[in-house]
Structure 1
């Protein structure tokens, strides 16, 4: 009997219990792709899962989303290592091609998928959290037949190409905000998602674009991405916004903080009938005074989830050099130093985007 090929992969067994293990190389089934992973970005949701947030692990009020043991990683690019004719025809790629893969694997059968809203799929299998859709933090992974695969030019560093996932999310949030040329837009949080929001909003030429973040380096990068004004939360944020808007408040507030203070701040800064777009992933439930939403200002409160229909634009922006990827990707770690990667990503003020490089992405 032939010996089963093995590879190294990071395996999540529980909160703060992530291990580098030897596991079998997965075998693709009909219509599936065997992908050799090149780079995996660490997302804020990865950090909250690692840290034990109730939405991932459950508590007395909810069932957790994470199902260990599982290989994490949903922000990734890789090269096609093997596929059959069905996968080749379905996705339009071949062996050796670099691809980016959307973070959700839609079931194609639920009410949301049938309505074309695949990113809201009821089973909601996102790579890296559930056993049936293991992620990319290993040398190889299987891309299911139902996954959405996008060919990607091969001339970018892998960690830069992997920004397609967070950038697509940011572009969707901007779209949900209906940002236009007459708007004063505030982006709260200048991490990878917030910086992508600045980039996406700048493309729509708003009247003024403001970015808010605690970290001075992130504020500098926000300026590189196109922010007209950058502020720290401790600055005179509200007077500045009122001055920019003749005392009315901003038209659109895009929250990428994942912090309760970002919610309260947005409700204060918005004008009447303004648009609040929530993209942050919170570790705990958030409470606020809802009176201002209805009786006070008649606000539009909108959620944004994943990056539906934005991947071609995100890949185009990265390929064209519109994204200062070298400033956003601040750290790269080989897979055998994944623990340092998580520590770095989770230390305030230490990093913007941290990328883990399996053997296929190391230079």
Structure 2
């Protein structure tokens, strides 16, 4: 038997049990979950009553392979693995058109809508998924670090898409987990000067602990920093990591003419922008959602060699019975948590 959490109503979840299959499909693997991170998508799913596919409720998981199907060749029993998406399939419409970085199958896997998607996510003791959905953990990455590879891959993907130039003046708006990871990737990618903007004092402290020297609250101080460092031109690249729809216009105004606005935070409401302003200033606006298979490998290597520090983002570990209360706390905004990991009961416990 396996225990898992599922959403049953708005801001409500229940713990349920399922009987594991006697035999796995030929390309399936069974993963005993070690940790599963909680992210903003999980909170939105919880407060919306489950409007996001159930397989994504708990998508930042790591665990150990406990069974494999007859055709599985990339992993074996006892391997530590992380949740991922498979390589470009080569046969979907996007792949056939030469756009393998936007493979339809990989994108569907990231959003939990493939035909073989599990009925629940990683807030569970055990999960059965396709072999495509797991990647072995490389040497030098701890279990806690492995649980943070998925958001690290999200931010790795975004910085890679932004094509940030060496020596660029970079602004990161928001110092939650996504902002702190983005800032580290931007630094690793060769940012010349980097400003982190964050209203929450605890999160500013977290950014400072990661050795970012320019960390300020929103407002005049941030504007003055950009003006001084760029001689009034504006940032070369701004990574918007809050997902606050009201900040989109003001974020774009911090970017220089010809600069790049990279969007990571996902707004739950519509935004208003000045289309004409973006056009006159020839902004490059880049949306970024999820990742490719390659991003997971790059993210793990960055963690393993110390270029990106993730363990300091881990502020709490909870059990399944504490999940609803933690989601309520995270949704309230009145929390000191950065990244919370769920440690579920093991299968059979």
TM-score (normalizing by structure 1): 0.85
Structure 1 residue 312, shift from structure 2 partner: 1.4
Counterpart in 1 of 2:84? 102
8 Å CA contact retained: 1:279, 1:304 = yes
8 Å CA contact retained: 1:345, 1:353 = no
Q: How does 1:198-347 map to 2 (within 5 A)?
A: 198-295=183-280, 297-308=281-292, 309-347=294-332
The 3 A distance-change label for structure 1 pair 144 and 351 is: same
SS at match of 2:164: coil
Question: Whole-Å Cα distance in 2 between the matches of residues 344 and 157 of structure 1?
Answer: 27
Counterpart in 2 of 1:133? 117
8 Å CA contact retained: 2:31, 2:66 = yes
8 Å CA contact retained: 1:188, 1:257 = yes
Q: Deviations over 1:186-210 (max 9, x none)?
A: 0111111111111101112211011
Counting matched residue pairs gives 340
The 3 A distance-change label for structure 1 pair 177 and 330 is: same
> Is 2:316 the counterpart of 1:350?
no
Counterpart in 1 of 2:129? 143
Structure 1 residue 43, shift from structure 2 partner: 1.4
Counterpart in 2 of 1:21? 16
Question: Whole-Å Cα distance in 2 between the matches of residues 36 and 285 of structure 1?
Answer: 39
Question: Whole-Å Cα distance in 1 between the matches of residues 67 and 78 of structure 2?
Answer: 9
Structure 1 residue 150, shift from structure 2 partner: 1.7
Counterpart in 1 of 2:4? 9
The 3 A distance-change label for structure 1 pair 110 and 251 is: same
Instruction: Kindly report the root-mean-square deviation, in angstroms, between the aligned alpha carbons of the 2 structures.
Output: 2.6
SS at match of 1:124: helix
Counterpart in 2 of 1:32? 28
The 3 A distance-change label for structure 1 pair 22 and 122 is: closer
The 3 A distance-change label for structure 1 pair 263 and 314 is: same
User: Which stretch of structure 1 is more off in the superposition, 343-352 or 298-307?
Assistant: 343-352
SS at match of 1:137: coil
Question: Whole-Å Cα distance in 2 between the matches of residues 105 and 338 of structure 1?
Answer: 32
Structure 1 residue 15, shift from structure 2 partner: 2.8
Structure 1 residue 146, shift from structure 2 partner: 3.5
8 Å CA contact retained: 1:329, 1:353 = yes
Structure 1 residue 341, shift from structure 2 partner: 2.6
Structure 1 residue 82, shift from structure 2 partner: 0.4
The 3 A distance-change label for structure 1 pair 213 and 247 is: same
Question: Whole-Å Cα distance in 1 between the matches of residues 45 and 269 of structure 2?
Answer: 12
1:47 to 29, 34, 43: 43
8 Å CA contact retained: 1:104, 1:119 = no
5+ residue gaps, structure 2, are none
Structure 1 residue 17, shift from structure 2 partner: 2.7
User: Which stretch of structure 1 is more off in the superposition, 111-120 or 328-337?
Assistant: 111-120
8 Å CA contact retained: 2:249, 2:272 = no
8 Å CA contact retained: 1:272, 1:299 = yes
TM-score (normalizing by structure 2): 0.88
The 3 A distance-change label for structure 1 pair 129 and 112 is: closer
Q: Deviations over 1:107-146 (max 9, x none)?
A: 7643124431355548724366788523211111112144
Structure 1 residue 103, shift from structure 2 partner: 5.2
SS at match of 1:73: coil
